[in-house]
Structures are given as structure tokens and as C-alpha cells.
């Protein structure tokens, strides 16, 4: 029988192919046939395991959103860590994750632009930016400046290089290998810069 115990191998092959193709080309530019080919399976299997392109996409999108916000959530809510410690953790962990998922930010942000409903917001991203312990600490340290500015600065310094990556490489500014070194350097530099901004 094995009613629910599907092969898992095939299903996962499709899901992994979907991750690759969706992330690379976005929802609209992705053809279900592209995913089938990438997975090495018959097109009909995609609709057998997942009901539709849309359903498969929602699955991938949820994963990606969770990954993009999941890294910072536990850090900014840390009860015992200082501002500096949080900044160090965020810069390090975020850049490490982004080095393994360079296309993630541009994918998630442009899909949310195309279709805000895709942003299920299970991670309650809004709260991270307005009600976290990190925000409270920032408000204490710099009461005269909207703490959201610092949140955006920190995130932008980590994320933006990866958003600009296609342009930087296409314009011949950096090779993929140089991009990696560049991002690694920023792990420590961002901490230093952030401290300077807080003390200005």
C-alpha cells in the first residue's frame, strides 16, 4: 500500500529543481517544462506530486522567505547580547548564509514586489524591524534617530552586494571568486563601520 510514503527521491528531485529554476529566473519566466528537465523527470510528474506550478512555487517561496529572515530573528531577539555582539553575529551569520545562497535576496524581494500575497509573513518580519530587543537597544543608544535607519543600514550592508552581484559581474567589476573574498572581508568591516555610525 504505502499510501503516504511516496518515493521521496522523485518528489525531492522536483522540489530541488524548482528551487534552482525559480530562484534563477523568477516565477513568471519559469516554465514547468524547465523544472521537469532540470529534475530529469516527465512533465506530468510535476502535477502528480504537486498540484500545480503555483502550489510548487508557494512551497519554494515559503522556504526562501524563512531562510532570508530566519537568520536574524533569533539574533535580534537575544536577551543577553549587546548591540555590538548582535551586529557581529548578524554580519557573520547573514553573509555566511548569503554566500551559500547568493540569489536569494533578489529572488525573494522581486517576487514579493510582483505579488505581495506571496509574503505569507509567517516570520513576522515586521516585528523584527520594529519590536525586537535589538531595536530597543538602538533606541536607548541613539534616542534621536529612528532605529529603523540602523536596521536598514545593517541589512543593506550585508545584503546589497548580493543584490548588485549580477551587475558587478556583468560589468566586469568583479569575478565570482572576487565577490566571495569581498563578502568575507565585510564580515568584520561591517561591525567596525556600524560602531562608527553609532558613535557619530
Partner DNA sequence: ATATTTTTTAATCATTTGATTAAATCTATT
Partner DNA sequence: AATAGATTTAATCAAATGATTAAAAAATAT
Contact set with DNA (CB under 7 A): 1-3, 5-7, 10, 30-33, 41-45, 47-48, 51-54
Residue 26: left if φ>0, alpha if ψ -120 to 50, beta else—which one? left
Per the structure block, which three cell numbers stand in for 34?
524547465
Draw the binding track, 151-180, toward its own copies (x: CB under 8 A; -: no contact): -xx-xxx-xxx-xx-xxxxxxxxx------
| Nearest approach, Cβ of residue 74 and DNA (Å) | 36
- What is the C-alpha separation between 118 and 122, in angstroms, rounded? 11
Residue 113 makes contact with its own copies by CB under 8 A = yes
Q: Choose the contact partner of 155 out of its own copies, DNA, none; CB within 5 to 8 A by kind.
A: its own copies
- What is the C-alpha separation between 35 and 14, in angstroms, rounded? 7
- What is the C-alpha separation between 200 and 192, in angstroms, rounded? 13
Q: Cβ-count burial of 156 within 10 angstroms (0-12 exposed, 13-18 middle, 19+ buried)? A: exposed
End-to-end CA distance of the chain: 68
| Nearest approach, Cβ of residue 6 and its own copies (Å) | 31
Nearer to DNA, 18 or 75 (CB): 18
Per the structure block, which three cell numbers stand in for 115?
505579488
Q: Choose the contact partner of 5 out of DNA, its own copies, none; CB within 5 to 8 A by kind.
A: DNA
Chain positions contacting its own copies, by CB under 8 A: 25-29, 103, 106, 109-110, 112-114, 116, 119, 121, 125-126, 129-130, 145-146, 148-149, 152-153, 155-157, 159-161, 163-164, 166-174, 182, 185-186, 189, 192-193, 195-197, 199-200
Amino acid at each position: 500500500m504505502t499510501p503516504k510514503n511516496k518515493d521521496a527521491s522523485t518528489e525531492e528531485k522536483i522540489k530541488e529543481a524548482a528551487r534552482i529554476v525559480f530562484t534563477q529566473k523568477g516565477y513568471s519566466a519559469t516554465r514547468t517544462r524547465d523544472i521537469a528537465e532540470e529534475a530529469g523527470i516527465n512533465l506530468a510528474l510535476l502535477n502528480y506530486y504537486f498540484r500545480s506550478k503555483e502550489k510548487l512555487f508557494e512551497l519554494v517561496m515559503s522556504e526562501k522567505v524563512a531562510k532570508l529572515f530566519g537568520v536574524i530573528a533569533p539574533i535580534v531577539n537575544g536577551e543577553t547580547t549587546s548591540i555590538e555582539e548582535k551586529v557581529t553575529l548578524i554580519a557573520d551569520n547573514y553573509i555566511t548564509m548569503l554566500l551559500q545562497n547568493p540569489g536569494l535576496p533578489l529572488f525573494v524581494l522581486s517576487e514579493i514586489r510582483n505579488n505581495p500575497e506571496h509574503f505569507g509573513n509567517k516570520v513576522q518580519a515586521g516585528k523584527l524591524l520594529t519590536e525586537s530587543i535589538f531595536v530597543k537597544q538602538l533606541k536607548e543608544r541613539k534616542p534621536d534617530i529612528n532605529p529603523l535607519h540602523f536596521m536598514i543600514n545593517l541589512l543593506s550592508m550585508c545584503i546589497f552586494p548580493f543584490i548588485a552581484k549580477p551587475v558587478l559581474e556583468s560589468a566586469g567589476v568583479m569575478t565570482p571568486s572576487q565577490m566571495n573574498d569581498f563578502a568575507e572581508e565585510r564580515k568584520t568591516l561591517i561591525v567596525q563601520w556600524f560602531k562608527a555610525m553609532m558613535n557619530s
